[in-house]
Structure 1
Amino acid sequence: MTETYQGWKVDFANPVGATALQSPDSVQWRVFKNPIALGIGGVAAVLMEFADPRIRSGVWDHSTYKADPIGRSMRTGIAAMVGCYGPADAARQVIAGVNRMHVRVKGTTPGGEAYKAMDTELLDWVAATAAYGFVTAYDRFVAPLSDADKARYFSDGATVGRLYGARVIPASAAEFMAMMEKLSPRFEPHPINTEFLDIIQSGKAAPGTPKFLHRALGRAAVSILPPLVRQKLALGPQYDLKLSDRIALQLVGRIAERRPDLSSPACQSSARIGLPADFLYRSPAVQKRLLARLQPVEPVALASAA
């Protein structure tokens, strides 16, 4: 499977034997294979990022988001997949390309505050919101994660976060909350946030999916926001998660957890490093045995690339 991001073509199936920035036994590999976790977590991450006017202005004024919000969101999703599953060299190229674009992003918020996309405080928050969003969505709507697995998810994610320029990376949900508290005086409501949710709930991102699932996904994303963020964004009761929303999303999430899509980055990347394509859909005990028997095609280390 080949995906294109900002001109870079990334083949998740090749070169054979090439490892990724994250190892196949990482919590990232488990979480990123599930489209429900990615959808809910990705929308929540964007809402948390847009809470800060510097990030909101940078995205709104310096990207294609206004003209093509769905395409922009999909490209961001591809970049996340590349960082998790893609061959390490290709992932570094994509991340370096993103960083080069971000160097040019600077301006002034409507409130008169200067910003630069490469400010480390902003990079830290963007990396942190993605980590919190994805791991929380998986835990709540797909399968519960232990505290140890959540901590490992945050810790392992530091590899990719630092390549994007982040310096302070939360090692736990508690550290994420502390970072949020520090930034929260800057958070504010804005029409862009509700416009973004309207787009998500409209179903335009995936026309073949029942519209009620899109509405449920938007409310689910709001439901996993820390209460302080939701309050600051003024996302009222119209975004409350209904019981029917939760049941539908959990059902779809759990079905996706059991049914491998052999054309997906998760399956293609498993095969690339010498594992069965459905490796991530097997039991933990079977996965452990398969990893123990794994023989790299070339002298390529299985461990995550630094």
Structure 2
Amino acid sequence: MADPVAGPGVSFRRDLSEWRVALVAWRLLVLQAADPVVGAGMAEHSTYQAHPWRRVEHTLGSGRRLFYQDGEALRREVARLDRAHKRIRGTAPDGRAYDAEDAATRAWVLLTLFECVVAMRRLGGDPYDAGQLEAAYREFTGSVAAFGLPEGELPASAAELPAYFARAARERLEFTEATRYLLEDMLRGAPRPRRLWFLGDAGWRVLRVVVARAITALTVADLPPAVRERFGLVRTRRAALLSWLLHRGVGAVVPRLPDRLRYRSPEQGGAPARWRPPRQGRRRDARGSRVDRFFREVLDQTGDGFLTVHDLRAMAHNVCWQLELDEAAEARVYQAFDGWWEQLRAAMDANGDGKVSREEFVAATVAGCDRDPAYLEQGLLPALRAVFAAADTDGSGFLEADEYRAVFGGPRVHPAELSHGFRQLDVDGDGRITVEEFLHGFTEFFTARADSTPGTQLLGRA
């Protein structure tokens, strides 16, 4: 397939790849969360509360995968999304059943991605004309045809989109708890992005108050009028001015940049944070603090302070998303993480409510490692074996640096931090990690009393 950001003419793919799409990213999440099925799924299955930046990146990243791929790669991405959506179903707190495979919901999610790119152009002062809009929509529908949506779920032409969105606002959308949280609470409690490490926690707490107010005001100002009316949201003059200044300012600058600065490549993530070497701890027994950090930064995917089966499945989803696994390999990863959850539930869920608190997890893990040297073998290590097997894409029995990077890397992880983690696991220094080294490193993370022990800095900076 030709480079989507090269060549003349209108291209939806090219516009989706512009950096200024970040200005409508929060708007996109709010519109998607307003669908009651999406809102219910986010409440129970999503990691958006604990990992908001990753949630945005995955949403936009999946869009790039869909629209920048050749036919075979597009088919794999659609199959991956199909498998993920099969797991997102249940009953909402109000008693309504929800299922992410609902055709109308899938159409809404896809169309909001297209609509946000259209809004980005319009708000930036360079809107599509009627012909360009239809051309972009044909390009869009040509890719999403791979989802096999029933005939009639997508409007036949771009000219029908305004009526579609107005009807959805009147008849389908709701001010869900996920929508409310995105607009009112999420950014006020969002964790510090790793690239802003230099601010420190105190600096980030001050800055995020300003960021939260600005993004909330911008999002409300930019929502379609029918959606604002439906939710009783008011577009103030100050918010309208902020929207005009940001979109017009960025819209004037970004198109004049060279392509290497104007566009994200399909694989490109955000710039990594500057890396600092991890500090060596001198605590008598540092296991509790490490296990606590593992719970907060790795396990508690939903950010509610408790561990449930949905957190473990979200971890499995993130591993599978990074590696683009086939169905059989993906099933093995999910099965291993489900087994780990069963071990945790049996050992730590004393009242049988399907939740494990942070305090319960830390105390039980430290006590379990003290009581039984094989404690980790009952749950964590089988899950890690499945991750290792999935990451070993060439079947060599080793993790090379690029395979390790595919699992543990990401847009917010500095290459030096990845290299440090790799060296922690590569005990014999031969430039590759065996399954024994992989499991040994994680075992030391949970069992070593001193932070100076190799294997205890797998999460990077202390």
What TM-score comes out, normalization by structure 1 length?
A: 0.68
Residue type matched to 1:29 in 2? R
Tell me, yes or no, if the aligned pair for 1:118 and 1:165 is still in contact at 8 Å. Answer: no
Equivalent in the alignment of 2:258: 260
1:220 positional shift: 3.5
The answer to which of 89-98 and 162-171 deviates more is: 162-171
Equivalent in the alignment of 1:100: 83
The answer to whether 1:63 aligns with 2:46 is yes
Match of 2:247 among 249, 254, 279: 249
Give the 3 Å change call, closer, same or farther, for CA 239–161 of structure 1 in structure 2. Answer: farther
Give the 3 Å change call, closer, same or farther, for CA 244–56 of structure 1 in structure 2. Answer: closer
Equivalent in the alignment of 1:138: 121
Tell me, yes or no, if the aligned pair for 2:123 and 2:247 is still in contact at 8 Å. Answer: no
Residue type matched to 1:31 in 2? D
Equivalent in the alignment of 2:17: 33
Residue type matched to 1:189 in 2? F
Match of 2:162 among 174, 177, 200: 177
The answer to whether 1:80 aligns with 2:78 is no
Tell me, yes or no, if the aligned pair for 1:44 and 1:225 is still in contact at 8 Å. Answer: yes
Tell me, yes or no, if the aligned pair for 1:219 and 1:239 is still in contact at 8 Å. Answer: no
Give the 3 Å change call, closer, same or farther, for CA 239–110 of structure 1 in structure 2. Answer: farther
Q: How does 1:119-138 map to 2 (within 5 A)?
A: 119-138=102-121
Give the 3 Å change call, closer, same or farther, for CA 158–261 of structure 1 in structure 2. Answer: same
Q: Figure out how many residues of one structure are paired with residues of the other and give that number.
A: 251
Equivalent in the alignment of 1:164: 147
Please give the secondary structure, in 2, of the residue aligned with 1:241.
Answer: helix
Give the 3 Å change call, closer, same or farther, for CA 174–68 of structure 1 in structure 2. Answer: same
Please give the secondary structure, in 2, of the residue aligned with 1:107.
Answer: strand
Please give the secondary structure, in 1, of the residue aligned with 2:239.
Answer: coil
Give the 3 Å change call, closer, same or farther, for CA 129–88 of structure 1 in structure 2. Answer: same
1:152 positional shift: 1.8
Tell me, yes or no, if the aligned pair for 1:203 and 1:214 is still in contact at 8 Å. Answer: no
The answer to which of 238-247 and 145-154 deviates more is: 238-247
1:175 positional shift: 1.9
Runs (5+) with no aligned partner, structure 1: 1-17, 270-306
Match of 1:150 among 126, 133, 136: 133
- Cα distance in 2 for residues equivalent to 1:115 and 1:267: 35
- Cα distance in 1 for residues equivalent to 2:41 and 2:76: 22
Equivalent in the alignment of 1:293: none
Tell me, yes or no, if the aligned pair for 1:20 and 1:87 is still in contact at 8 Å. Answer: no
Equivalent in the alignment of 1:291: none
- Cα distance in 2 for residues equivalent to 1:262 and 1:159: 27
Tell me, yes or no, if the aligned pair for 1:200 and 1:214 is still in contact at 8 Å. Answer: yes
Please give the secondary structure, in 2, of the residue aligned with 1:157.
Answer: helix
- Cα distance in 1 for residues equivalent to 2:266 and 2:47: 29
Tell me, yes or no, if the aligned pair for 2:15 and 2:117 is still in contact at 8 Å. Answer: yes
1:120 positional shift: 0.7
- Cα distance in 2 for residues equivalent to 1:229 and 1:268: 31
Residue type matched to 1:176 in 2? L
- Cα distance in 1 for residues equivalent to 2:193 and 2:52: 9
What TM-score comes out, normalization by structure 2 length?
A: 0.47
Equivalent in the alignment of 2:228: 230
1:52 positional shift: 2.1
Cα RMSD between the aligned structures? 3.4
Tell me, yes or no, if the aligned pair for 2:17 and 2:266 is still in contact at 8 Å. Answer: no
Tell me, yes or no, if the aligned pair for 1:222 and 1:240 is still in contact at 8 Å. Answer: no
Return the structure number with greater relative CO, CA threshold 8 A, min gap 6.
1
- Cα distance in 1 for residues equivalent to 2:106 and 2:46: 16
Question: Which structure: larger Rg?
Answer: 2
Give the 3 Å change call, closer, same or farther, for CA 238–247 of structure 1 in structure 2. Answer: closer
Tell me, yes or no, if the aligned pair for 2:91 and 2:97 is still in contact at 8 Å. Answer: yes
Please give the secondary structure, in 2, of the residue aligned with 1:115.
Answer: strand
Residues 56-75 of structure 1, C-alpha deviation per residue, up to 9 Å, x if partnerless?
A: 11122122223212212111
- Cα distance in 1 for residues equivalent to 2:195 and 2:76: 32
- Cα distance in 1 for residues equivalent to 2:192 and 2:27: 18
Give the 3 Å change call, closer, same or farther, for CA 260–180 of structure 1 in structure 2. Answer: same
Residue type matched to 1:192 in 2? A
- Cα distance in 1 for residues equivalent to 2:80 and 2:47: 16
The alignment-based identity, stated in percent, is 24
Match of 1:112 among 95, 100, 121: 95
Give the 3 Å change call, closer, same or farther, for CA 82–109 of structure 1 in structure 2. Answer: same
Give the 3 Å change call, closer, same or farther, for CA 238–200 of structure 1 in structure 2. Answer: farther
- Cα distance in 1 for residues equivalent to 2:216 and 2:66: 25
1:106 positional shift: 1.0
Equivalent in the alignment of 1:186: 172
- Cα distance in 2 for residues equivalent to 1:96 and 1:20: 23
1:244 positional shift: 4.1
Residues 130-182 of structure 1, C-alpha deviation per residue, up to 9 Å, x if partnerless?
A: 11111112222152221211122222211222223444223445422333344
Tell me, yes or no, if the aligned pair for 1:21 and 1:87 is still in contact at 8 Å. Answer: no
The answer to whether 1:91 aligns with 2:74 is yes
Tell me, yes or no, if the aligned pair for 1:127 and 1:166 is still in contact at 8 Å. Answer: no
Please give the secondary structure, in 2, of the residue aligned with 1:262.
Answer: helix
Residue type matched to 2:13 in 1? W
Give the 3 Å change call, closer, same or farther, for CA 205–219 of structure 1 in structure 2. Answer: farther
